[in-house]
Amino acid sequence: MSDKHRVTRRQFLNYTLTGVGGFMAAGTLMPMLRFAFDPILKDEAGTEMVAVADVKDITTEPKRFDFKVKVKDAWYESEEPRSAWVYKNEKGEIIALSPICKHLGCTVDWNTDKEHPNQFFCPCHYGRYTKDGTNVPGTPPQAPLDRYEYKVKDGKLYLGKAKPRGEA
């Protein structure tokens, strides 16, 4: 046997013990670190983007898409249905409007009021919004419809949080 690779019994034991000890230390430290940093690593509930529709299905006419988001109410976690009115404007930009009426929170519908075509209409108190979500003066709502944050990835539309106009 050559002298170059000679490992003494003492060295061998040292190496092995350091290695095993290192693994054990890592094994106990890792969970502790995770606990310490967990709140930073975790996504804020409700901010995850959800795939809602194929971009090719989006036309210039507002269309309703339904999806579900996870919500946490105290200790009760559930999936809550949401919907969005999605269309492309003249510039080809995607607009995703929240259907929640800014008056008292009913769900608005597109083009259901025969006297005022091509507007969003709230059946509760006859609130109206134009196609881009602007509230029609003289009807109960005082603010435009919220817009969803969105992104497009691999031909799919992802929606995030609905935000008041100007913030999204």
Partner 1 sequence: MKWTAADVELYQKEKDYIDTALIPLIPITMDDGAKTAASGGEFVQLVAGELERQLKGRVFLFPPFSYFLSESRQSLVERLTDWTSLLMEQGMKYVFYVTCDREWKGKETAISDRLWLVPAVPLENMDESYKYELIRDQTSGLLRFFISQWS
Quote the least distance from Cβ 149 to partner 1, whole Å.
22
Element (H, E) at 157: strand 156-163
Residues in 8-37 at the binding interface with partner 1, rule: CB under 8 A: none
Helix-, strand-, coil-residue percentages of the chain, each rounded to 5: 20, 35, 45
Tell me the chain's radius of gyration from C-alpha atoms.
Answer: 28
Q: Does 125 contact partner 1 by CB under 8 A?
A: yes
Stretch that binds partner 1, among 13-21, 47-55, 90-98, 120-128 (CB under 8 A): 120-128
State which of residues 39, 81, 92, 138 lies at the interface with partner 1 (CB under 8 A). 81
Cβ atoms of 148 and 168 closer than 8 Å: yes
Q: Output the DSSP codes for 33-93.
A: HHHHHHHHHSPPTT-S-EEEEEGGG--SS-EEEEEEEEEEETTEEEEEEEEEEEEE-TTS-
Q: Does 101 contact partner 1 by CB under 8 A?
A: yes
Q: Does 123 contact partner 1 by CB under 8 A?
A: yes
State which of residues 24, 25, 33, 104 lies at the interface with partner 1 (CB under 8 A). 104
Stretch that binds partner 1, among 1-9, 45-53, 105-113, 159-167 (CB under 8 A): 105-113
Residues that bind partner 1 (CB under 8 A): 81, 101, 103-107, 122-125, 140
